Structures are given as C-alpha cells and as structure tokens.
Structure 1
C-alpha cells in the first residue's frame, strides 16, 4: 500500500486531468449522458450495467437498444413474459443475468415504487447486483462518490500506481487506490473516464503511453513496465466435457424443451440433451428409443469453467407423443425467434444443414 499512499497526494490532478480528457473523448454510448450533463435515466444505467457484466460494449449495444425499444422502463419490463425476456437475451450469454434481471425489476416495481434505491449499499441488496454493479449505478445514475472498479479500471490503476501484486490478490490494494483518486464532483463521469481509458489507450497489449493523458502520473510508465501490469496468477486449464443434443422433427416443426431455472443456460429454450454439465459428461442416452441418426459435425462451446463438445442425433417424432420430454413444437421457419442460446443455435444449424442436404439428395 505504500506506493498507493505516496502517490495519492496527486489524486486531484489525476481526476481533473482525466475528466478534461473525457470531456473531449468520451465514447458515445446509448446508455450514457454526455460528459458534464445531468445523470442519465437510472433504468438505462441499470440495464446497461447488468448487460455489461463479463460482456463487451460492442456486444451489448444492439441488445440494449432492442430491450429499450421493447421495454422502455421498469414497469414495462416487470410486466413482460419471462420467456420473451429470455428469448430477447439469447446470444448474450451468462443467462443467470437475465433471470436476475427479471427478479430485480419486479422487486424494484413492487417494493421500491418503480424507482431504484440511490446508494450502492441499498442497490447491492437487489438480485443480480454485486459490489461493482452497485457502485457503477450509484456513481453514474445518482452521483455517489464511490470506487467503481471493473477490469479496465483495474488495469489502469495497477499501472498508474505500479501495483505489482498479482490479481486477484491485488484487488483490495487497487480498490484503495481508486477510492483515493475518485473525486466528489462528477464521480460517475470519472468512473466512465477510467473505463474508457482502459478500453482504449491503456489496453491490455501495447498501451499507448505517449499519448495517454495520465502519463505524467503513471508510475508504471516511468518505470518502463506498463505492458507487464497488471500481473495475474496463472490460470487453471478448463476441463473438457462431452454431451449430445437431440433433434426431434415432425411436420416442419422441431421439439424444444425449457431448461430448469437453475443450472447451465437456466430458463432458456433448447434442444433436449443427455444431461451434460460442468462436472460431468452427458450419458449419451436419448429421451426415448427410436432410430437415431448421428448428424455430421459437432459444436464446441467454451463456458466460464469448462469446454463442451456437443454432438447431435436426429429422429422423427414418436407415434406416441407422450414419450416426448416436456416442451413444445416450434416451426422450423421461425426457429430464429425461439431465442435459443448460442450453443443450441449452432446445433440447430448443424441439423438444418444436414436436413437440407438429405432433401437435395
């Protein structure tokens, strides 16, 4: 902590310099207010911050705009059908966020009169809102002076103060440093300025130190070690898992199930599968006895904690449809509207390609 404590005497200069840079170079994002303007609609801040958890800005923009157009405020989203929200989220990943989004918005409407609480402490009590998200919403939407630390801010701060402790052990030291330089005036703009700097000039590789507005304050740049920070502990290799999905077709429709609310891809429509999960391979057993045909190809999908190789088997619907697992028939021509998560969307494309090839033959 000594380096941090030594350099925080320049905190005012750091904040004013960075805010002046932000005023000229802030990213134009649909959930932001222009620099120095009144805070944006808290609903837009909340929605964007939930979507941005472990997801890039580029990936989020289209989803955010689609949600805002369809559900423009807390009341509209709270009254939405769960399946519609999950389908609209399909492809964005980390589906527990969508389930928590639904829970959170209904709590906001029923217990808070449709308005978010204004402090990070109270925000953190809501479903799906952890310490970072609570701090970001409080700072950006309500002007609370609170340390906002995401991956970009961690990188900027580790370099600014030459913090050599590897992550994640460095997180407390980084948080102290961010708190020390966060100004009372415009804390939301400051947080976004730090994020923007990390997403641009202070990138993971090849930081552009010579044109960085904070180069005169940056201990890592002065020591010639910016590219080596932040240090990170070695990652554990991800285990490989294998599973099978099942394509059941009848009269230009495919059978879709809904996954349990808890667990991988919870609450999403999907193809039936053989029970694969993060801890074990699937058992390869189909949902009913039939003439199953292996579909050429496979889908490889990387989750947070493991990598899955998914194979696909296909058959026609059984004569006795009571043998089908719980689910629904979905028209092939509108399968894109089912909101399948990426893994099963890729598997469906395999089946459709194989089906088209068979029809041509």
Structure 2
C-alpha cells in the first residue's frame, strides 16, 4: 500500500475533526488525520479546563456510539434554563417540559478530546502529527496536501476541520463573510457557596450577556460576553469572583475562582460555500455562531455525524455531487441557528430604539407563560 495515498484526509484534530475520523474508522475508506501537535493527556486530572461545552442529547448519543463519551464524574448537567432580561423579563424552561432527562451536559474540552483520541489510538485511523500543512492543490480527481516536513499526501477528499481561522478554507479559495460582534467572551470557572441545582443561568444586561453553566459538584463555568473584556481580565482572581457573583445577584452565594480568566473574540463566520473541488469544511471552519445558545460545537458534531453517514460506503468520497448533497443537508440547521443567535444578540443589545427594552422583556416573560411554547423551546434545545 502506498503510505501517502488516502481516501479521506481530515485536517484538524480538535473535537469535530477527530470525531469525524473516528466515525469513519470502521468504514472501508483509508482515513488520515493531520494535526500539527498531537494532544497530550498525562495531566488530565489536574485542575479544571476553562473551555467547556454544553453537549446536547443528540450529540451525546453520537459520541456514545463512538464509545467516546467521557466519564460522568467530570460532567455537569443542565436540567433547566433560567434566562433574565435587562428590565424584569424572565423565562424558565426545563428538560422535563420535553419529557427529557437533560437539556445538555457540560463537558471540559480536554476530557472530551481525550476520550476521542484514546479511541483513535485503538482504531485504523492513521494519525499524522508534528508537521503543519503548507500547500494544497486539487484536481477534479484528487487533492494533494504538502506538509512542512516535505511529505506530499494524496487523497480523494480533504476535510477542513481546522477552526474559525481555517487554513484549508483559505487554500481552497472559499471566501468568508466575517461579522464581528464587537465583543469578546470571557470565560472562567468558580466554586460556588450554594448548589447550582443543575440550572443554567443567563442574564441579558443590555450591553453584555452573562451565563453560569453548572459543572460537576458545586462549580459553575462563566461565559461573559462583553465589549470591555480587558476590565475583567485586569481583575485579580478574588476581585473577579466577587464581581461575577454580584453580577448574578449572589444567587449561588460567594464564588472562588478555580481557573484563570481567558477571552476570545466573538464573530459570526459565513463562508460563501462549504465545499470546493475535493474539499469540504466542517465545524468552525464552516460556520460560527454567537455563544449565547452554546450551540457551536453541537453544530460541528452534527456536521461530522452527517458527513460520516454519507461517506461510509461511498465509492468516491470526494465526488462533487456527494459534497453538494452534504452542504445542502446542513445549510438549514446552520443558518437557522446563526440567525436565531444573531437576532437574540441584536434584540437584547439594541440601544436607542424607543420601546425596544419593553418589547424584548415583555416578550420574554409572556413566552415563559405559554406552556406549548416552553415545550417547543425545550425540544429545540435538546434537538441539536
């Protein structure tokens, strides 16, 4: 067998790319996974990861099918959402409204990644680590990936799962519209004085969005979307804990920081297309959304699940019509989530429009009083 020729090469060994490679491990395709730096998990039990994700039930089932769901001892559970507006509006809905066990589970990035990579180590997927890709060339019949160490890998399909600043997207000539929100998401984890009750709490303040996500034990993960992240990053751990607890009305008592704060810019990315000749984009390379609904990685996992199902028995995984079929199948779910999150952000961040504050807060409260709508919100939350 020519050791440089593949059926499918995935560029990007993060959650989405690694899960796709693992989902294809039992297919009849020869699969390669290219990652510049092989993840290292020897200190997995030390401390807590500031990067967490709210994994929906459908994506938990996807990872369970891959035998890559992490142990329950590090997971938080969202059984209920409590959302407050900036002028008295409020809505609460629960998994029980949809007859479900949970709306989502809060999992640390490194534990999710470790679970997937440990399964990859036992699979037929060929992991190609330690060399950055430097060039990509495509023809109607194949793609050719050149690595920094001089190796040239041929493949019938190249998958770009290399994040929001995707190198593959740029090399494939897929221009993307990038709309900056003028905010950054500041994240940190805290021990809290009182139990969180498996409730995710969110506050729209008029100029920022604060969320507390329930972690394992008496811990919460904060995501604070703000136009002034430097003001939070400049605080000491103790000062930040006091400020975050106060911003949520001390609902969970005193806070103690257990991870340093970090920030990342918030953008909505919409490529002109997610497929090109012998190339397909997944996850953040194909789309990003505002984190207020916590659905970014869920969309990415569903990209991976859908593409794996399509490619598993494909005679030619890079066939143009097959790639177009995948792009069309994902377009509605992605656009719906992007528009919903963008609309909510603009509704609750809008200033200077007479009556807008009354409208959004009244609408939030009235929605919470209509049982069928609450059930639909819960079903929508668990459906991704």
Q: Which has the higher helix share?
A: 1
Larger % of strand: which?
2
Give the alignment's TM-score, normalised by structure 1.
0.26
Q: Structure 2 length normalisation: TM-score? A: 0.25
